[in-house]
Amino acid sequence: MNDLNMYYEAHGAGRPLVLIHGGLSTIETDSGRVLPTFAKTRRVIAVEQQGHGHTADIDRPLTYEQMAEDTAQLLRWLEIKSADFRAISSAFHLLGSPSFPGPRTSRSCTAPIGCFR
């Protein structure tokens, strides 16, 4: 995705639920305890953004807009046309980015910790 080898995990089956970690976090730190529960009834796609966890940093700016585009490209590559999203903390900013798939692809968005302008 945009020269980024983005790490993601896929678990379970059913309606897609995309988990997006917060700043300086990983799948494990933000969703490790709840992911197995979600995967009992959902197809869970958990991503690690540029410079986080298993996804290396590359030579380009790290912005919410770029992370949103990376996530959108991953979902297109996985052929996910509609999903629900769970964004932790600062990741909630991705959901409001113009690059994010938006209402065409999301039924609901939750942000257990975060703010949105």
Domain limits of the chain?
7-110
The average pLDDT across 11-38 equals 91
The average pLDDT across 46-64 equals 86
The average pLDDT across 66-94 equals 86
**CATH tag for 7-110 (out of 3.30.360.10, 3.40.50.1820, 3.30.70.360, 3.40.47.10):** 3.40.50.1820
pLDDT at 86: 87
Task: For strands 16-20 and 43-48, give the pairing.
Answer: parallel
More confident position, 21 or 115: 21
Position 117 pLDDT exceeds 50: no
The answer for residues whose C-beta is within 8 angstroms of residue 25's C-beta and 6 or more apart is 52, 53, 88, 89
Average pLDDT, the chain: 83
| CA–CA gap between residue 78 and residue 90 (Å, rounded) | 24
Model confidence, pTM: 0.82
pLDDT in tens, 88-108: 877 777 777 777 765 455 655
